[in-house]
């Protein structure tokens, strides 16, 4: 609550203790409530300034505290933080509901909205009014009587369940390890052996362990010749939240689905899926399903071809078993190595994390004219964290970027972008953005080496980061990533394409021992292999997308049997038994640890259409850094936030609506030119 005197008023992590949060939350909630009450009861007629702008600038302290706390809860959690999160999540949801359900406040907003054509507002003022009114309506502002009270109860109940779901998954994930004996290490690449030793040391154990962090278990599944160990690791990975213990998420899922359905029904929607897709680019669940169906059958056909390759490998090895899920990654890597003469260890030797970080910065500089300089004088919440300032062509600092790249206990799985402060056009605050990944920590004195998939993830998350860092809107509610869920992945996914360009890799894919660039013939094989196994990757994604949407269209969620439901949905499209969901229900954080991707996991595919079509513009121009296209991409997408509807933003960049053909072509589902 004190004034932050750090450079750029960055969070003073060295001065913040866990016991500070609850009293700070108490004070900030009380102050924000008073600010909102003053706006709602203002005797003056409503104006943009005394209502919309006043609301936009209210709650600054609460926002600051919440962003610090919930970033720590994701990246550096402990028992104290988890307990505070369980207490505060429903309280903050109730506080939010007290604002959106404030009848006097909404009356002022609604009166401005009804008169919006006569107020002389500029485009961003009008957009802020329209999105604020839209958000209030979707948050129950037009409900009356008992429905208003029940809606607030539902939101608070969901907030508590989301926290419970996420903490259950984390407990199962962090509570399991697979100890490897000396003979189990035979046949494993050195980088996996080293990472397994590091994982054991992080947990105070001797020897080597595989954990359920994706950066640990997935490479093990790709390389371990021991089928029984692969099955044990895969089973534990797939059953997080699905075990006979206190972390079982079955009932939590049913309760979430029931409350979501009730919330949607209160607002007049037939289902939660209808509620969630309303106002997005897709617009309806059917539109999202139609896109997934359009891609499903070509992807399934390609996956069948990939499975046939695996079956041949199994037969050639003199084995007699069907392809199981714990076999797919192992034999796929053998096929990949044979077909493209690729050794993952050889590729990783050229993909140093530090160089890939420099590569992502280089692309941003070429496209958008920004530069990054590391800072060592800013407090951080963990020694792993690094900080850079982002400057424009005039040398002015326009953003801070935090990078937190290594896996550790207390950090949630996966990779994500978040913010400690959004860009604020009202008071001039620069954005403070953070990327989190979960790469294996290297041994002391050794460089961190990435797979090509890891490097793609790095670029993906930095695309999100740039969406926040380059934001240049008049109001924080329109800033950065505050866009439609099925558009928010576009800036991240299009950025991945630059990693795959020879012009970038030739410069930054440098061998960590020899200092030599990746040979041209190896680079060519790496790029050719990117289309490999796309059937599997797309099918496992779509499996999760179909199940996510089916949950939120189901009329009686209280009766759902989780296992049976998953199998029924997958069987309805003749799914391959060897390819399950990418994220099974009981650890599907995208869908059940919050509302972000609920009934919206399709968004990655929707954005996939946009990113493949969008990058095709640079290919058509014959210059991956074409200045005119880069400027349009900056003006219409990266800096624009939610200042206009998503389709208008895309057309502003591309000059037309997106086409699906580039996605199908780039995944190898149709021939080039088809």
C-alpha–C-alpha distance, residues 173 and 216, integer Å: 12
Indicate if 461 belongs to the active site: yes
Residues 6+ apart with CB under 8 A from 627: none
Smallest CA-to-CA distance from 243 within 343, 306, 172 is with 172
| Helix (H) or strand (E) run with residue 178 in it | strand 177-180
| CA angle 93–95–98, rounded 5-degree value | 110
Are the C-beta atoms of 215 and 195 separated by less than 8 Å? yes
C-alpha–C-alpha distance, residues 515 and 510, integer Å: 6
| Pairing verdict, β 208-211 and 177-180 | antiparallel
C-alpha–C-alpha distance, residues 71 and 16, integer Å: 13
| Helix (H) or strand (E) run with residue 488 in it | helix 485-488
Burial zone of 221 (CB within 10 Å; 0-12 exposed, 13-18 middle, 19+ buried): buried
DSSP character string of 9-50: G---GGG--GGGHHHHHHHHHHHHHHHHHHHHT-SSPP-III
C-alpha–C-alpha distance, residues 318 and 247, integer Å: 41
C-alpha–C-alpha distance, residues 467 and 484, integer Å: 13
C-alpha–C-alpha distance, residues 646 and 206, integer Å: 52
Beta strands in 466-606 (DSSP E): none
C-alpha–C-alpha distance, residues 287 and 291, integer Å: 6
DSSP state of 312: H
> N- to C-terminal Cα distance for the chain?
60
The whole-angstrom distance between residue 361's C-alpha and the CA centroid of its chain comes to: 20
| Pairing verdict, β 208-211 and 397-406 | unpaired
Catalytic residue among 255, 461, 489, 496: 461
Beta strands in 410-561 (DSSP E): 416-421, 432-439
Sign of CA dihedral 448, 452, 453, 457: positive
Smallest CA-to-CA distance from 405 within 380, 376, 434 is with 434
Find where tokens 């399903």 sit.
289
Are the C-beta atoms of 10 and 420 separated by less than 8 Å? yes
Smallest CA-to-CA distance from 180 within 225, 239, 242, 241 is with 225
12-16: Cβ within 8 A, 24+ apart: 12/379, 13/379, 13/380, 13/381, 14/379, 15/379, 16/68
Phi, psi of 64 (to 5 degrees): -65, -45
Find where tokens 């079982």 sit.
248
The residues that are catalytic are 461
């Amino acid at each position: 609550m004190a004034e932050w005197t750090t450079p750029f008023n960055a969070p003073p992590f060295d001065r913040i203790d866990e016991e500070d949060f609850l009293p700070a939350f108490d004070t900030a909630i009380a102050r924000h409530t008073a600010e909102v009450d003053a706006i709602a009861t203002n005797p003056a007629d409503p104006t943009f300034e005394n209502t919309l702008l006043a609301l936009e600038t209210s709650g600054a302290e609460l926002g600051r505290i919440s962003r610090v706390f919930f970033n720590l809860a994701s990246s550096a959690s402990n028992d104290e933080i988890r307990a505070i999160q369980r207490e505060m999540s429903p309280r903050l949801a109730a506080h939010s509901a007290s604002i959106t359900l404030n009848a006097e406040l909404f009356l002022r907003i609604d009166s401005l909205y009804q008169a919006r054509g006569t107020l002389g507002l500029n485009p961003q003022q009008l957009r802020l009014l329209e999105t604020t009114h839209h958000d209030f309506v979707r948050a129950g502002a037009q409900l009356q009587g008992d429905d208003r009270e029940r809606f607030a109860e539902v939101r608070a109940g969901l907030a508590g369940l989301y926290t419970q779901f996420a903490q259950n998954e984390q407990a199962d994930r962090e509570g399991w390890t697979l100890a490897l004996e000396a003979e189990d290490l035979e046949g494993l690449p050195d980088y996996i052996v080293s990472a397994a030793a590091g994982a054991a040391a992080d947990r105070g154990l001797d020897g080597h362990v595989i954990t359920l962090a994706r950066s640990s278990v997935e490479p093990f599944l790709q390389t371990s010749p021991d089928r029984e160990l692969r099955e044990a690791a895969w089973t534990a990975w797939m059953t997080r939240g699905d075990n006979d213990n206190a972390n079982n998420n079955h009932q939590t899922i049913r309760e979430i689905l029931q409350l979501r359905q009730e919330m949607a029904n209160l607002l007049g929607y037939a289902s939660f899926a209808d509620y969630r897709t309303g106002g997005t680019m897709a617009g309806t669940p059917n539109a999202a399903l139609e896109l997934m169906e359009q891609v499903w059958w070509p992807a399934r056909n390609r996956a069948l071809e990939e499975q046939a390759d695996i079956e041949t490998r199994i037969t050639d090895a003199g084995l007699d078993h069907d392809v199981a899920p714990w076999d797919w990654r192992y034999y796929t890597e053998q096929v990949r190595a044979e077909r493209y003469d690729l050794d993952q260890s050889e590729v990783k030797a050229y993909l140093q994390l530090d160089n890939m970080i420099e590569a992502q910065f280089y692309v941003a500089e070429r496209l958008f004219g920004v530069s990054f300089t590391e800072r060592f004088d800013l407090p951080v919440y963990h020694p792993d964290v690094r900080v850079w300032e982002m400057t424009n062509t005039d040398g002015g600092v326009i953003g801070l970027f935090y990078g937190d790249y290594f896996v550790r206990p207390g950090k949630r799985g996966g990779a994500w972008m978040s913010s400690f402060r959004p860009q604020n056009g009202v008071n001039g605050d620069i954005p403070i953005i953070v990327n989190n990944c979960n790469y294996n920590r290297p041994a002391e004195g050794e460089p961190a080496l990435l797979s090509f998939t890891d490097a793609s993830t790095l670029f993906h998350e930095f695309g999100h980061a740039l969406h926040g860092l380059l934001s240049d809107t008049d109001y924080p509610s329109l800033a950065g990533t505050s866009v439609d869920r099925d558009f928010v992945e576009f800036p991240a996914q299009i950025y991945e394409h630059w990693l795959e360009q020879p012009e970038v890799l030739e410069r930054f894919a440098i061998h960590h021992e020899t200092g030599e660039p990746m040979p041209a013939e190896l680079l060519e094989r790496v790029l050719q292999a990117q289309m490999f196994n796309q059937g599997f990757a797309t099918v496992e994604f779509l499996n999760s997308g179909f199940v996510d949407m089916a949950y939120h269209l189901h009329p009686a969620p209280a009766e759902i049997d989780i296992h049976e439901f998953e199998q029924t949905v997958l069987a309805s499209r003749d799914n391959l038994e060897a390819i399950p969901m990418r994220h099974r229900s009981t650890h599907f954080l995208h869908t059940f640890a919050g509302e972000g991707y609920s009934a919206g996991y399709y968004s990655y595919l929707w954005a996939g259409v946009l990113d493949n079509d969008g990058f095709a513009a640079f290919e058509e121009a014959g210059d991956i850094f074409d200045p005119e296209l880069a400027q349009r991409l900056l003006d219409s997408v990266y800096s624009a936030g939610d200042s206009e509807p998503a389709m208008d933003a895309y057309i502003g960049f591309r000059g037309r609506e997106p086409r699906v053909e580039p996605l199908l072509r780039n995944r190898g589902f149709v021939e080039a030119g088809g």
